[in-house]
Amino acid sequence: MIHTIKIRKLGKIFVINIFIVILLLLLLEGLSSIILLIYSGINRKPVAEKIHTEYDEQIGWRNIPNLYIQDMYGKGKYLKTNSQFFRNDKDFKMNVPEGKTRIICSGDSFTFGYGVDNDHTWCQQLISIDSRLETVNMGQGGYGIDQAYLWYKLNSSKLGHDIHIFTFITTDFHRMKSDSFLGYGKPVLSLKNNHLVVQNVPVPKPFFRLPYASIETIRKLNILRLLKKMWPRSFFDKHPPDSMEGNQIKAIILKIFENLHQINRSKNSKLVFVYLPMIDDYYWNISKPWREFLQIESNKNDWLFIDLIPSFRKLSPLEVTSLFIGKGELDYHFAEGHYNEKGNIFIAENLYERLLAVPEISDVLQSVAF
């Protein structure tokens, strides 16, 4: 009897010790993962946009006004914004100056000019080609087609213009699915009764002041992964729009384009949609379904649509590589793959040539004498 009791006590002690060892291992595992995540976060390159943008409850983020950073992208590669939140060296009056044709450039970081100074964005380079032009750079880093549309809509009433170039890359379509970008909140568009509805506004601000690395570190914690499994609609993983199908996105895009045309018509401005090439477009056909879709709809609706990818693919691999920022050239996250100075010049020259080939645009340019 006594022998049996001793065996039971030893068994309990053994089980308790095993439990303590497992608990310690779990605690060590958790602590180690946290330390490794923090270490990776500290060593991650910063996001450039975090330096020159501020929170906006309607758009998510926008450029800080009247900002000047002399060496933003390297020695002498300055970034300057005006009081209107645009990447321009000067402010613009409501009316187009006499003897000028004003062009508004809408888009994401490829239009904003990530990696180059103000003078070398493709939007500004258009002036170097044709001095009759005055260009307004409304590009904003990280924007999808939805935010670019909302940003233009917000500012269109403040500026008269003759031509509106609305640009996008393939990534911009996918950004429309989510209510955040790199952890920062953004508005989401949906269609109700054939009208665009803006959701997720005011845009949540919980993580805006945190660096991107900190946001990613928080999201990767195992305890949050567990919470996400238990509560898929949790605070830290709120992405209900990700369930949107391709047809839903296409319907929203068509409505955006229709609205853009209405706004531009009311301002007597010519609207041109421009598909900008990424380096992946040279080697892969990921963009093909979108380009074909937009070409068909443009033909159907009599929209002006310029696809720069075919001319981009006529280059040699070496020529293509020379147009983009290479790996390690800039100490920012996601810098690789944006246009460098040569790339922006290539876009400006090819785009201007294509614009001249469009009678409606050529007529606007020819109405202003040198």
| DSSP structure string for 297-335 | HHHHHT-EEEE-HHHHTTS-HHHHHTTBPPTTSSSSBT-
Stretch (H or E) spanning 289: helix 288-301
Question: What pTM value is reported for the model?
Answer: 0.83
Per-residue pLDDT of the chain (370 residues; tens, 9 = 90+): 555 666 666 666 666 767 676 766 556 655 555 554 444 444 456 788 889 999 999 999 999 999 999 999 999 999 999 999 999 999 999 999 999 999 999 999 999 999 999 999 999 999 999 999 999 999 999 999 999 999 999 999 999 999 999 999 999 999 999 998 887 899 999 999 999 999 999 999 866 655 544 445 555 555 555 555 555 544 444 444 444 567 899 999 999 999 999 999 999 999 999 999 999 999 999 999 999 999 999 999 999 999 999 999 999 999 999 999 999 899 888 889 999 999 999 999 999 999 999 999 999 887 775 5
Q: What are phi and psi of 259, to 5 degrees?
A: -65, -40
Q: Where are the beta strands (DSSP E) in 37-162?
A: 53-56, 60-63, 68-69, 79-80, 101-106, 133-137
- In the chain, domain spans: 50-207+238-366
CATH superfamily of 50-207+238-366: SGNH hydrolase (3.40.50.1110)
Q: How far is CA 326 from the centre of its chain?
A: 19
